[in-house]
């Protein structure tokens, strides 16, 4: 996929980083243990897991309250709350 909103892709490209979920995961790998990415980008799951992160692919686009609640449930489950 691509960024939904904002200048993230241009900023990452300008700083020489890969513009992808894997590129973002590389930037955060020293600070996080779980990386949630959109299901459209699930092809990156294995590569992100090779960084030592738990990768969770799900629908991250919250167009309805029900979708937002579903995403919250997935994240809470991933962090085992």
pLDDT in tens, 18-38: 999 999 999 999 999 999 999
Other CB atoms within 10 Å distance of the CB of residue 3? 13
Residue 1 counted as domain residue: no
pLDDT digits (tens, 9 = 90+) for 1-19: 777 777 888 999 999 999 9
What is the Cα gyration radius of the chain?
13
For 34, the domain range is 8-78
Residue 3 counted as domain residue: no
Predicted TM-score (pTM) above 0.75: yes
Domain count, the chain: 1
| Span 49-69, average pLDDT | 97
Contacts of 65 by beta carbon, 8 Å cutoff, 6+ apart: none
Residue 62 counted as domain residue: yes
Q: What is the mean pLDDT of the chain?
A: 94
């Amino acid at each position: 996929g691509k960024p939904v909103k904002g200048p993230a892709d241009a900023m990452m490209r300008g700083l020489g980083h890969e513009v992808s979920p894997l590129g973002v995961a590389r930037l955060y790998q020293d600070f996080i243990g779980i990386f949630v990415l959109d299901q459209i980008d699930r092809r990156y799951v294995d590569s992100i897991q090779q960084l030592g992160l738990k990768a969770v692919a799900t629908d991250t686009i919250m167009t309805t309250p029900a979708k937002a609640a579903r995403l919250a449930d997935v994240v809470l489950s991933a962090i085992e709350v």
